[in-house]
Structures are given as structure tokens and as C-alpha cells.
């Protein structure tokens, strides 16, 4: 795995977008893995490690998360600017086609890109997200987004992750430790906090007051889609998932023992993604 970065432009200037690259840089079969709201690209280490034998895997940190720059204008933590950042990344990769694996926010970003004319997305994996999200589910996320207590130890931060991300499913201690190790920043006093700009909450909470309805965007996507739904997910409801599955070239798989969102760290979950990417025909 190589740590990389690219500069992208928003309304206040240029910013660094960090990303992690797995596999051979000469491989034209590219998978971009895009994480959820408060997470980062290292969430996909297990998946990327498995995919790298067949793909060049790119796992970015969204603006304001992980190793990417925090934005000066906090209102720019929003999808139009995320699309600008990923446009710069795709240009850096110099690729004509990409496979997109997106969890939650990362899935919505992929869906938006895949809906645009001339886009490079040939296959889209949506991990526990769809074009319709209830306001009640968004409100539950808003309860913890932006709240960043200080922790004296990595273990105490790990316990916090287990609480707020219980929907990830039954992860091993090693996997929780991995998430904690790559989800923190160290303060001057030696304490640690989660590694994202707490001001990402401002834009999110503006959206959280009403249902998300992106069915027109969904209808503009023409590539094959794999939908992964946490069996107990409040964000991707079963009726919404079933409605999505009525679309041609769409596969729906429920992941038992998970809510929002399957972590894609378990071998069986990784196998689902890997097998679908290999076997599903591309759009005509």
C-alpha cells in the first residue's frame, strides 16, 4: 500500500486529498473505495488487500477526514465539492473506466458521479445506501457527528467506535483495533480524538432535517449495480432496497448481523464484492 495525494480546487483555494493505493499502478482495472461520513480510506484495508491481485485499488480520505486537508469554508463539506475533489483524483489516475465501491456517503457520491453524462463508472457497489433515506435515520447520525470527546488511550477510543458503529457487525478485536489505530489524531496534550474535522457536522445537519430523495439521480445511472444492505439498517430500508432491485442489472444482497453499515472486513463480505466485480457484465 502506498500513501498518495492530489490537489483539488474549491472556492477558497487548493487542498490536499489523501488516498491509499493498492496493487500495480500500471493496472487499468481500477476500483475506487469511498468511505462513510466520519470514516476514512483505511476502512477498506481488508477489502483492498484482497482485491489488489486483480485491481488497482484507490481508497481516498474525503475532504476533512483522515489525512486530507480540512476545508477553510466549512459549507464546502458538501457533495458538489466532493465531486470536484474526486474529479481531480480520477484525472490523476488517468483512467477511462472505474469500478466504484461506496459506503453510505461514499455510495451517494458514487451514485452522483455515475449519473452524469460521460462518467467513467462501469460498475457501482452501494454499501447500505440508496436514493431514499428517512430523516429519522439521518437524525440518529446527527446525534454523534461533530461530537469529539478527548480520549486518554487508544483502547478508550476503540470502545467509543464499538458503540457508535455497532452497525458494522461482529468484528474481531483485531479489526476494531485496526479501525481505532487509523481513526485518531494526537493532540498537543497527548490525548487523542477522532481524525475528522468536527465542522463536517454543519453541512450534514442542514440535510438531516428531511428525507433524502434522489430517485431522479438513481434513474440516471445506467451501469450494473450491487446493493449491499445491512439486514437491520435504518438508512437503507427494505422497501427502498426492494424498489431499487427492480432496476435492470441490479443485484441486492442482505448482510445478516449488520445494520448501518456492513464493514466489508469479513471474508464472506469481501467475497461478495470480489465475485460480483469479476462476474457481473458491464453495461452495454
Among left, alpha and beta (phi > 0; psi -120 to 50; other), residue 66 is left
Q: What is the pLDDT of residues 180-195, one digit of tens each?
A: 999 999 999 999 999 9
Q: Indicate the average pLDDT of the chain.
A: 96
pLDDT at 67 (0 to 100)? 98
Whole-model pTM: value is 0.96
The residue ranges of the chain whose pLDDT is under 50 are 282-284
Convert the pLDDT of each residue in 216-226 to its tens digit: 999 999 999 99
Would you state the pLDDT for residue 43?
99
- Residue 283 neighbours by CB under 8 Å, 6+ apart: 122, 222, 223, 224, 249
- Which residue has 467509543 as its cell numbers? 160
pLDDT of residue 144: 87
Go through the domains of the chain in sequence order and give each one's CATH number: 2-135+212-279 (3.40.50.1820)
pLDDT value for 281: 63
Q: Rounded to the nearest 5°, which phi and psi values hold at 253?
A: -130, 130
Amino acid at each position: 500500500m502506498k500513501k498518495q495525494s492530489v490537489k483539488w480546487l474549491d472556492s477558497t483555494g487548493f487542498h490536499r486529498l489523501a488516498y491509499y493505493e493498492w496493487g500495480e499502478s500500471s493496472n487499468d482495472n481500477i476500483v475506487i473505495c469511498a468511505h462513510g461520513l466520519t470514516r476514512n480510506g483505511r476502512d477498506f484495508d481488508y477489502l483492498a488487500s484482497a482485491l489488489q491481485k486483480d485491481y488497482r485499488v484507490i481508497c481516498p480520505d474525503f475532504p476533512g477526514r483522515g489525512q486530507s486537508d480540512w476545508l477553510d469554508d466549512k459549507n464546502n463539506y458538501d457533495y458538489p465539492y466532493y465531486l470536484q475533489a474526486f474529479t481531480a483524483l480520477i484525472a490523476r489516475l488517468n483512467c477511462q473506466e472505474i469500478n466504484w465501491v461506496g459506503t453510505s456517503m461514499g455510495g451517494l457520491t458514487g451514485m452522483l458521479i455515475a449519473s452524469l453524462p460521460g462518467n467513467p463508472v462501469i460498475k457501482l457497489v452501494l454499501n447500505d445506501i440508496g436514493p431514499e433515506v428517512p430523516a429519522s435515520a439521518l437524525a440518529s447520525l446527527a446525534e454523534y457527528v461533530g461530537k469529539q470527546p478527548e480520549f486518554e488511550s487508544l483502547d478508550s477510543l476503540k470502545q467509543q467506535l464499538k458503540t457508535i458503529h455497532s452497525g458494522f457487525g461482529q468484528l474481531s478485536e483485531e479489526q476494531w483495533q485496526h479501525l481505532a489505530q487509523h481513526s485518531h489524531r494526537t493532540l498537543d496534550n497527548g490525548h487523542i480524538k477522532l481524525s475528522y474535522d468536527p465542522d463536517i457536522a454543519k453541512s450534514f445537519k442542514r440535510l438531516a432535517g428531511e428525507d433524502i430523495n434522489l430517485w431522479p439521480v438513481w434513474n440516471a445511472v445506467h451501469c450494473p449495480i450491487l446493493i449491499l444492505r445491512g439486514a437491520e439498517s435504518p438508512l437503507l430500508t427494505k422497501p427502498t432496497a426492494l424498489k431499487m432491485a427492480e432496476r435492470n442489472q441490479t443485484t441486492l444482497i442482505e448482510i445478516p448481523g449488520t445494520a448501518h453499515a456492513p464493514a466489508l472486513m469479513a471474508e464472506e463480505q469481501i467475497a461478495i464484492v470480489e465475485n460480483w466485480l469479476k462476474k457481473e457484465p458491464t453495461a452495454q
